[in-house]
Structure 1
Amino acid sequence: MGKKDIILKQYFSDNKRFAEIFNHTLFSGQEIIKPEKLKPVDSAQADVIALRDTAAEFVQKNRDIAKIYDDELELVILGVENQNDVHYAMPMRVLLYDALSYDKQYQSIRKEHHRSKDLKGAERLSGFSREDKLVPVVTLVVYYGTEAWDGPRSMHDMLKLPKAFAEFPHLVGNYPMHLLEVRKIADVEVFNKDLMALFGFIKYQQNSRELENFIQRHADYFNSMARETYTAITHAADIKDIEKYIEKKKETEAIDMCDALKQMQEESLQRGRREGAQQSLRQVAEKMLRMNHPIPLISEVTNLSEQEIIEIKKKL
């Protein structure tokens, strides 16, 4: 797992952010998932799955984030998967994660029945009674990549159905994938300020004018940003170079990201001007070479070294 993945995993593990992502993506902003009722669970799911008739392989899958939602003993397992790149097998991956969660629950129930020896007949054979129920599992994929998600969104999108099944796709089991594509969020301002800043920066980062307008509209927040949100933004948006423009402060102090972005932009403009000026001088040197002016004179006029002019001449 790369540093970016680790940082975003830690950031979204916060119960308030975790709940808000689910509520806005799956429940149209209704507060169905309450932060105070979320509990962390061991996200490592290791189970033996029979992959061939003659052998079994030990499959280790690690969710990015997994939490138990406990509402008066009504439980749901919620999982988040962070994606920086389109994954063209993501629905199958989510299906596997969820299946492992269900199998882990089933094996736990089965072992308890085996220990207590309280089942008979078909129930004993199943290791599962008529009254036993599994905890539902819901997985949300958060995609913050630069390209539009053009991958599958369900298992059916990954299948090549034979013509005979064209009119009966429902006969083949489907598994939809819940996807939050950050760049397609219609209104990032419905989120709290931390998530609004992160999602807004990701959404607008490829359009400098829209990004500048977004930051100006929320200057109060960007002028005094929480450090963990600043860290999440710089890694999610790949602008870690901004660190050199940030005034060194204690870990607990807020970050003035507006000022740092202005300095970064100004340096970029100055670099562009210098490169433009250099290009103009090279063009003058080319014209003088075509007019057969001597290299020492061209060097004196353009301030380019004689070696640079010789290299330009080789390309003519």
Structure 2
Amino acid sequence: MVTLPAATGEHGSSREVDISTEGSQMKKRTKKKTRDSNLAQKHRDLLKFAAMMQDSHANYVILGVENQMEVHYAMPVRNMVYDALQYDKQVAMIAADNRRNKRFSSGTMRNNGEFLSGFLRTDKILPVITLTLYFGTEPWDGPLSLREMYDINDSKLLDFVPDYRVQLIQPMTLSEDDFEKFHTSLREVLQTIKYSVDAQKLTEYITQNERMHRLDLSAANVINTVAGIGLEIKQDRGKVDMCKAIEDLKAESRAEGREEGRVEGREEGREEGREEGHTKGRAETIEQTVAMLRNMKIPKETILSELQRTFSLSEEEADRIYNAK
């Protein structure tokens, strides 16, 4: 839940409207489903961004796609239901506030409609702007309006049917000018998503961006999760230096590489030693066999045949070993 300031009522009094954010609803659904911890973390971080996007004029909600790397093909219906619930919540809270403050007390002229609904003719609600933030790297190919989901083409009928459009943000399709329109840490999050398909560009963007030196913790967590970087997030007064985190990751990778090289080198040395020992031992065994058979006055042809059979030697190899002694 987040508390939003509502419009001033007839008496000039300020009210607060308690609005449930989509992030909270998404977390509840997450608890019902067997989701991995990374996806749950994304929902929590997105909720923090939703809180950043509220002001006294509107309730801005950053909405993550259910499975953030996939297209939701019923998104118009899903968002429309969410918006309707938000509006209904505002009306209910304003009506409860009116009754709690006895704005229908005797002596106050109210019509029956106001009394029954609890919502005054002068009461106002805040607009709900739902943005669908799509994390996928493939183009969105789902419907962006309710009408795209209808199985009818009768224009006369559609004139009477209300439409609902999805406000979609695809970082992969945004230009640099588009990113400049975002003035919060959301800009860095969106740009990171765009560059996440190219490791070199992503590293250059993070290390060359001044804003990355003092990034909000919530933004750093989203970037770390969505881009799959695997950084160790260290905060300083709620801020994170992503550039240092990248350098620390590089240093750690280099250290791990050196250690792996040493381990592989030692293992290769042991393997070579074992192989060398095996070869030397086999040669000594063959030599001892030849000496023993010679001492027994076994004919050369028989000795060569026995060497070929026992030690899988070719005729030339057996003859060379026999003549070496």
TM interval, shorter chain, is 0.5 to 0.7
Shift in Å, 1:269? 7.9
How far apart, CA to CA, are the structure 2 residues paired with 1:204 and 1:271?
30
2:172 to 183, 188, 195: 183
Amino acid at match of 1:144: F
Amino acid at match of 2:110: D
How far apart, CA to CA, are the structure 2 residues paired with 1:268 and 1:146?
30
Q: TM-score, structure 2 length as denominator? A: 0.52
- Look up the match of 1:10: 48
> Whose Rg is larger?
2
- SS state at 1:81 partner: strand
| Superposed CA offset, 1:56-112 (max 9, x none) | xxxxxxxxxxxxx24xxxxx3333312224222221111111112233344456665
Shift in Å, 1:205? 0.8
Q: How does 1:28-177 map to 2 (within 5 A)?
A: 38=55, 69-70=56-57, 76-83=58-65, 84-85=68-69, 86-107=71-92, 112=98, 116=104, 118-120=110-112, 133-161=124-152, 163=153, 165-166=154-155, 169-177=158-166
- SS state at 1:175 partner: coil
Q: TM-score, structure 1 length as denominator? A: 0.54
How far apart, CA to CA, are the structure 2 residues paired with 1:102 and 1:269?
56
| Superposed CA offset, 1:109-134 (max 9, x none) | 666589728224x7777776765554
- Does the alignment pair 1:257 with 2:245? yes
As a proportion of its length, which structure holds more strand?
1
2:186 to 195, 199, 214: 195
Shift in Å, 1:264? 6.3
How far apart, CA to CA, are the structure 1 residues paired with 2:172 and 2:80?
24
- SS state at 1:172 partner: coil
> What is the identity percentage for the equivalent residue pairs of Structure 1 and Structure 2?
28
How far apart, CA to CA, are the structure 2 residues paired with 1:101 and 1:159?
24
- SS state at 1:176 partner: coil
1:229 to 195, 206, 219: 219
* Change in 2 beyond 3 A, CA 1:146/1:261: farther
Shift in Å, 1:166? 4.7
How far apart, CA to CA, are the structure 2 residues paired with 1:96 and 1:167?
25
- Look up the match of 2:202: 211
Unaligned 5+ runs, structure 2: 1-26, 28-39, 269-273, 280-325
Determine if contact 1:242/1:264 at 8 Å carries over to the other structure.
no
Name which of structure 1's ranges 110-119 and 142-151 shifts more when overlaid on structure 2.
110-119
Q: How does 1:300-315 map to 2 (within 5 A)?
A: none
How far apart, CA to CA, are the structure 1 residues paired with 2:130 and 2:218?
24
How far apart, CA to CA, are the structure 1 residues paired with 2:43 and 2:222?
10
How far apart, CA to CA, are the structure 2 residues paired with 1:253 and 1:137?
30
Question: In the comparison of the two structures, how many residue pairs are matched?
Answer: 219
How far apart, CA to CA, are the structure 1 residues paired with 2:252 and 2:127?
47
- SS state at 1:139 partner: strand
Determine if contact 1:88/1:152 at 8 Å carries over to the other structure.
yes
How far apart, CA to CA, are the structure 1 residues paired with 2:221 and 2:41?
11
